[in-house]
Structure 1
Amino acid sequence: MGILTDVWAWLTTGSHWTGTGGVLQRLGEHIYLTGVCLLLSCALALPLALWLGHVGRGGALAVNLSNAGRAVPTFAVLVLLSMGPLGRYGDWATIVALVLFALPPLLTNAYTGVREADRQVVEAARGMGMTGGQLLRQVELPLALPLIMTGVQTAAVQLVATATLAALPGGGGLGRLITAGFGNYDTPQVVAGALLVAALALLVERVLTLTERLLDPMRRQPGRTTPV
């Protein structure tokens, strides 16, 4: 119980939360880094995956290539990028490494969601004279939304956890609390930093789950009940 008491004491000490390098500053840096990487990842992966899923060509190759990228350690990519030209431009090496890490679940889930949309519904909409763009926006995308949001949740939680690596090349975020704790042999600070990262990941997942419920048109249909 000694370590738990020490961790609680560290977390409830006001001076650890404010000022330069405090928890609030590092938390803001972590949220900013995660948000930027998630937005860039979605902007790159989702349009491509939705289009490939709609036309039904080339998607399997794109998904396999993105999944193969999961085998490459994010830390190794981060180190290589930090040593290159990107390392001279602030957090861009970290951002590029994290974006590459977040692409596979976004690409895979969005493509699979569109391809697995109810074919009878899709063909009925096509028979009504819908264009390809209308079919994608009004039929395939709503049907694929739950799986797309699952990919977004997975990518977001992974980014929150992996963004702690930004501290290793000197970046910001909650990882700085952990590395500083290791440097000072301060075990309570290390554990507190890890707990803060875990709590942020759980919070992000919950927010995205609620967002999906708000966006999903199937959940908003009158009289429809959602299974518990």
Structure 2
Amino acid sequence: MNLLAEAFDWIFSPDRLSGSSPLPAAIALHLLYTFIAVALSAVIAVPLGYYIGHTGKGRNAAIAISGAARAVPSFGLILLLVLVMGVTQKPLAATIAFVLLGIPSILAGAYAGLEAVDRRVIDAARAVGMTEWQILVRVEIPLGLPLLIGGIRAGALQIVATVVLAAYVTLGGLGTYIIQGIPLSRYDMILGSAIVIVALALVLDGLFALLQQVVVPRGVAAGRTQDIRATSPRRRAVVGTSLQERKG
């Protein structure tokens, strides 16, 4: 309990606003790496996922590659890329590693979102004369957007946790305090930075969860509301009473 109090004292200490690595600057750098990696991952994974989801081609290969990529150790991947590309390219090497780790979740969300669309809806769109491009843009993408945001949400959480390792190759961020605190046995610093990282991940998760609800098409949201009302306890009770009266 004392250690937890010391960790919060470290976080809110005025010293965190000064020095060579102030806490706000470390948070900003951590978020910068995260947003750049998520954006690049989305640029690569979303078009590929949409192609797979719309055409059905390459799905098994995408699943296999995504599964293999999730099994790659983050720390080992960063060190490998730094060693291969050279110490002068550490920011680029780390960014590539973060992007590679974010692609599988976003790719899965993109093609799963399109695959989840009811085939009857797509057939109806074809029946009214829509082209394949119109079906993709006007039907499949809007209906599959919540699952895509869910994939980006998972990828962002994985990236924000992995960016901690950037400090090991002297790139800064919130992991710097953990790397510095271990040899100094500054457990308040280590726990304090861990708390900030967890809080940052929770905030990002909450924002993506909210966005995931916002992007649900109005027609789909209205249909869900009607379904909930139709299956409410009062409705079920009325239906059950009617059935009993008929049997009687």
Tell me the SS of whatever aligns to 1:20: coil
Identity of aligned residues (%): 34
1:110 maps to which residue?
110
> What amino acid does structure 2 have at the position aligned with 1:158?
Q
Q: For 2:172 and 2:19, locate their aligned partners in 1 and report how far apart those are by CA, in whole Å.
A: 14
Unaligned runs of 5+ in 2: 229-248
Q: Conserved in 1, the CA contact under 8 Å of 2:82 and 2:90?
A: no
2:242 maps to which residue?
none
Q: For 1:106 and 1:152, locate their aligned partners in 2 and report how far apart those are by CA, in whole Å.
A: 5
Which has a greater percent of helix? Answer: 2
CA-atom RMSD in angstroms: 1.9
2:97 maps to which residue?
97
Deviation digits for residues 32-52 of structure 1 (CA, Å, limit 9, x no counterpart):
000000000000000110011
- CA separation of 1:51 and 1:172: change in aligned 2, threshold 3 A: same
> What amino acid does structure 1 have at the position aligned with 2:181?
G
Superposition deviation, residue 57 in structure 1: 1.0
Superposition deviation, residue 208 in structure 1: 1.3
Q: For 2:220 and 2:124, locate their aligned partners in 1 and report how far apart those are by CA, in whole Å.
A: 22
> What amino acid does structure 1 have at the position aligned with 2:5?
T
1:141 maps to which residue?
141
Q: Once structures 1 and 2 are overlaid, which stretch shifts more, 15-24 or 30-39?
A: 15-24
Deviation digits for residues 115-170 of structure 1 (CA, Å, limit 9, x no counterpart):
12101101100111111111011111111111111111101111111110001111
Superposition deviation, residue 86 in structure 1: 5.2
Q: Conserved in 2, the CA contact under 8 Å of 1:167 and 1:176?
A: yes
> What amino acid does structure 2 have at the position aligned with 1:179?
I
- CA separation of 1:220 and 1:58: change in aligned 2, threshold 3 A: closer
1:43 maps to which residue?
43
Q: For 1:219 and 1:18, locate their aligned partners in 2 and report how far apart those are by CA, in whole Å.
A: 51
Q: Once structures 1 and 2 are overlaid, which stretch shifts more, 68-77 or 211-220?
A: 211-220
User: TM-score, length-normalised on structure 2?
Assistant: 0.86
Superposition deviation, residue 213 in structure 1: 2.7
Superposition deviation, residue 219 in structure 1: 6.9
Q: For 2:182 and 2:2, locate their aligned partners in 1 and report how far apart those are by CA, in whole Å.
A: 18
Q: For 1:224 and 1:140, locate their aligned partners in 2 and report how far apart those are by CA, in whole Å.
A: 18
1:201 maps to which residue?
201
2:13 maps to which residue?
13
Q: For 2:67 and 2:222, locate their aligned partners in 1 and report how far apart those are by CA, in whole Å.
A: 39
Superposition deviation, residue 18 in structure 1: 3.2
Q: For 2:200 and 2:170, locate their aligned partners in 1 and report how far apart those are by CA, in whole Å.
A: 21
Superposition deviation, residue 221 in structure 1: 6.1
Q: For 1:186 and 1:38, locate their aligned partners in 2 and report how far apart those are by CA, in whole Å.
A: 32
> What amino acid does structure 2 have at the position aligned with 1:196?
V
> Which entry has the higher C-alpha Rg, 1 or 2?
2
Q: Conserved in 2, the CA contact under 8 Å of 1:153 and 1:208?
A: yes
